[in-house]
Amino acid sequence: MAENDWRKSLANFLDDLRIIEECKGETPENFNQFCEFIAEPSFEGLSEELRKFGIKCKYRMKKQKWISFEVKFPRSRIDHFHYIISLPKNSVELRLKLKTRGRRTKKSLIEEKEEPFMKDVLPSEILKLPKEDLIMDVIKHYRNFTYEILTKTE
């Protein structure tokens, strides 16, 4: 009986490894789908709206790694705020990270924070995320960053 136990344990372990490897292969493709169908259209819509206020924006993507939304200072080419969604290395699910960066003035150094991306959204729900929810999250982080730097005491 003990012989069967270790063989079953070994078989289960090797099957688990196979599943992990499969997930590690699928997750980057799922992240690319998230970027293409949710993040890019959200960032495009937000960019168009910010342009009406004289604020230039752009987004960039590195396939299977990250997507970034960058806001310039009003009527400037200097970056003011970055909202970066990234897929951690060796991810087996879409448990994404959010990095926000920004500078107080055009000449100050960039400050950076990292946190889980939309921690209340399950990894299995990321591909169903409404574009409006992502836009609201970008606005929330941009607003909080801006309010914080405007009210920061030295």
Angle, alpha carbons 94-98-103 (nearest 5°): 165
What confidence tens digit (pLDDT) does each residue in 109-129 have?
A: 888 999 999 999 999 899 999
Task: Report d(CA 111, CA 34) in Å as an integer.
Answer: 27
Which carries the bigger pLDDT value, residue 136 or residue 79?
136
pTM, two decimal places: 0.84
Domain that holds residue 66: 2-151
Q: Which pLDDT does position 23 carry in this prediction?
A: 59
Q: What is the pLDDT of residues 48-77, one digit of tens each?
A: 999 998 889 999 999 889 999 999 988 788
Number of domains in the chain: 1
